[in-house]
Amino acid sequence: MPLMTYDSQLDSRNPTAGPFKLRPWRSVLKDKDHGWSPLFWVIYLGFFFLDPVSNHASFRIWFLDITGAVVFLFLYLGLFILEHPRSLAHIAGMVLLGLLFLPINGGGCTFFIYAASMLPFCVQKHRQAVIGLISIGAIGAIEGLILHVGTWGMFYTAIFPMIIGAGNTFFAERNRMNRKLRKANEEIENLAKVAERERIARDLHDVLGHTLSVITLKSELAGKLIDRDPQRAGKEIREVEQISRQALSDVRDAIRGYRSQGLAAELAQAKATLETAGLAVQCDAATTVKLPAVQESVLSLAVREAVTNVVRHARARTCRMRLDQQNGSCRLEIQDDGCGASNGEGNGLRGMRERVEMLGGTLQRSTESGTTLTITLPLKEVVPKSEGCQN
């Protein structure tokens, strides 16, 4: 009988769980661990019937053999189709069948072989498998001595089961490692999905928060101008339409993880937004640095979030934005003379800090004499870049 290389869930189920529940055969056969192997290895039960066939056994012996085979099939298949099998109890039942049938049927050694072959998959540790195999071999050897089964009989009753079981300990350990690897991969996939959801949430917050603030600002301005300057009000409304269309594109880009504008365009847009809100803006970015795409995206989102906060909450009159290179790092500073609230971080600032720290940078926020936001990101390559906005 060849090695039974099961990769089953036997050792992963709870042996002390609640009442038995049957699993549908379809789910058993499609199981990635063992598939069709439970049905395939049943054919070796045929060795159990060689003895009654060759010896022309009586009706009574045939009845007992068939009854034993039915009990074995319950124990064997139960390991696969029951939701909560008591695995070691099933193995013990197979050993007991071997003890009971070996005196009347030399093929009773088949039950010892099945028990030994499946034991490594029913325990959690290699040591437990070794102890169990030695126990099965010893039980078979003792009964073989008592029944005087002969050399070959002793081999199939005590030694061969241990050989089969020893081979399967290797496969059982390998299968447990594969199962752990699959579980680890599933956890990695879940973490990646969570991280992607968090990224989309942060990006949508930044994109929509900034855009809706600009739309609100321009709508209010258009409402004030509609009576005294209808032409200017119409211009503002048209810009609201354009911003809304751009917002839709930005949302799609955020979901895909792309950023099309870049930092220079974001600084120019921020300057225009602040001036629309009535702030005096100073932007020092005449000599900027060339950034990797990821870092540029992070700084662009930081500018967008910071400007949104200034427009919404700061009640400031002036704002200064500065971008430069210092000691191999890129430094972005956004300062306003507003109220400088010292309340805790909101979702936008928290998301901004997470992005910066993921790239090995730092974010500092000071609320003395207004609010100063300073972001520093490490640079590997420094290349001159065209200016992003004018003073």
Confidence of residue 111 (pLDDT cuts 50, 70, 90): very high
Q: What's the alpha-carbon Rg for the chain, to the nearest Å? A: 37
Residue 277 sits in the same domain as residue 185:
no
Q: Is residue 114 part of a domain?
A: yes
Given 158, 191, 224, the domain boundary residue is 191
Q: Who has greater pLDDT, 390 or 371?
A: 371
The whole-number average pLDDT for the span 110-127 is 87
The whole-number average pLDDT for the span 76-85 is 74
Phi, psi (rounded to 5 degrees) for 367:
-115, 25
Residue 25 sits in the same domain as residue 170:
yes
Q: Is residue 218 part of a domain?
A: no
Measured CA to CA, the distance from residue 117 to residue 6 in angstroms comes to 9
Q: Is residue 84 part of a domain?
A: yes
Measured CA to CA, the distance from residue 86 to residue 71 in angstroms comes to 15
pLDDT at 310 over 80: yes
Measured CA to CA, the distance from residue 50 to residue 107 in angstroms comes to 7
Residue 176 sits in the same domain as residue 267:
no
Q: Who has greater pLDDT, 227 or 288?
A: 227
Phi, psi (rounded to 5 degrees) for 260:
-90, -30
Q: Is residue 302 part of a domain?
A: yes
Torsion of CA 81, 86, 92, 94, to 10 degrees: -10
Confidence of residue 172 (pLDDT cuts 50, 70, 90): confident
* Residue-wise burial string across 280-292, b where 16 or more C-beta atoms lie within 10 A, e elsewhere: ebebbbeebbbbe
Quick one: which H or E segment has residue 286? none
Given 174, 191, 208, the domain boundary residue is 191
pLDDT at 104 over 70: yes
pLDDT at 84 over 70: no
Given 141, 162, 191, the domain boundary residue is 191
- Residue 8 pLDDT: 42
DSSP string, 39-96: HHGGGGGGGGGHHHHHTT--HHHHHHHHHHHHHHHHHHHHHHHBSS--HHHHHHHHHH
Q: Who has greater pLDDT, 284 or 390?
A: 284
Beta-bridge partners for 319: 281, 336
- 23-52: per-residue pLDDT in tens? 554 554 455 555 567 677 888 888 899 988
Residue 145 sits in the same domain as residue 14:
yes
Report the range of poorest mean pLDDT among 199-208, 329-338, 354-363: 199-208
Residue 279 sits in the same domain as residue 187:
no
Q: Give residue 343's region: left, alpha or beta (phi > 0; psi -120 to 50).
A: beta
- Residue 100 pLDDT: 93
- 187-197: per-residue pLDDT in tens? 877 777 777 67
Number of domains observed in the structure of the chain = 2
- Residue 311 pLDDT: 83
DSSP string, 119-176: GGGTSSSHHHHHHHHHHHHHHHHHHHHHHT-HHHHHIIIIIHHHHHHHHHHHHHHHHH
Give the domain range for residue 287.
262-391
Percent of the chain with pLDDT over 70: 77
Residue 167 sits in the same domain as residue 69:
yes
- Residue 11 pLDDT: 45
Report the range of poorest mean pLDDT among 139-148, 203-212, 358-367: 203-212
Report the CATH number at residue 382.
3.30.565.10
Residue 22 sits in the same domain as residue 171:
yes
Residue 172 sits in the same domain as residue 30:
yes
Widest Cα–Cα separation across the chain: 116
- Residue 9 pLDDT: 45
pLDDT at 177 over 80: yes
Q: Is residue 246 part of a domain?
A: no
